[in-house]
Amino acid sequence: MEPLTFDNPWILAVKRARRHAGAPITIAIAALSLFLALIVAPAVHRMLAGQYPPGSLFAALSQILLYGGIFLPLYVSPFAVRTWEEWGSKAPVLGRWQRALLGLAIGAFAFLITVLAAAVAGVVQQAGPGGFGAGIVFAAFLTAFQAFGEEFFFRGWLQPIFAYQWGLRTGLLVTAAIFALSHWVVGPLSALAT
């Protein structure tokens, strides 16, 4: 990870963009995206979930729709704004395969630590028809989808714009505050999640 300085490739990408939406428009788009993700998607899920018996195919599809509804806005809005602004691509230090292998190794290690912590806390339970292994694979996919979506939304989109427009400290504080607020809105977190 690269330090948050004005030489950071993400901030340079914002600086070199052909168009600039500006921080107020970015905040409005982010607020709408978070409203869809954190308020609308769970409300739709609650409405659908009560109609189907637990463990049924439709209940599972309803859960998939929930995760899609939560995380798709976190992918779509930054991608759309970055494309519209025509951000320049950052020059990678490592090659494509080196970055992929490094990312997979770090992600696998973090995931194993998370599963270990969940097992120690008694959260890990026997999975349904697919068994424990299928549950681990599904959890790994879901964790990667969630983590990348959050990182892309907050650190890859909001933070560079705010840091470029308002300075490094203010940009970091505003991004951290929006990140914390979005997690607070979801509800109280368990000791394991914090």
- pLDDT score of 77: 92
Can you give the pLDDT at residue 63? 73
* pTM exceeds 0.75: no
Q: How far apart are CA 12 and CA 6, in angstroms?
A: 7
**Per-residue pLDDT at 192:** 44
For 104, half-sphere exposure in the C-beta direction (CA atoms, 13 angstrom radius) is 6
The whole-number pLDDT of residue 32 equals 93
Per-residue pLDDT of the chain (194 residues; tens, 9 = 90+): 556 666 777 777 778 788 888 888 999 999 999 998 888 888 887 777 777 776 667 776 777 778 888 888 988 999 898 888 888 665 556 677 887 788 778 877 777 776 676 666 666 555 555 556 666 666 677 777 888 888 889 988 999 899 888 988 998 999 999 998 888 877 655 554 44
d(CA 145, CA 125): 21
In the 8-state DSSP scheme, what is residue 18? S
List, in order, residues 6 or more apart from 3 with CB less than 8 Å away. none
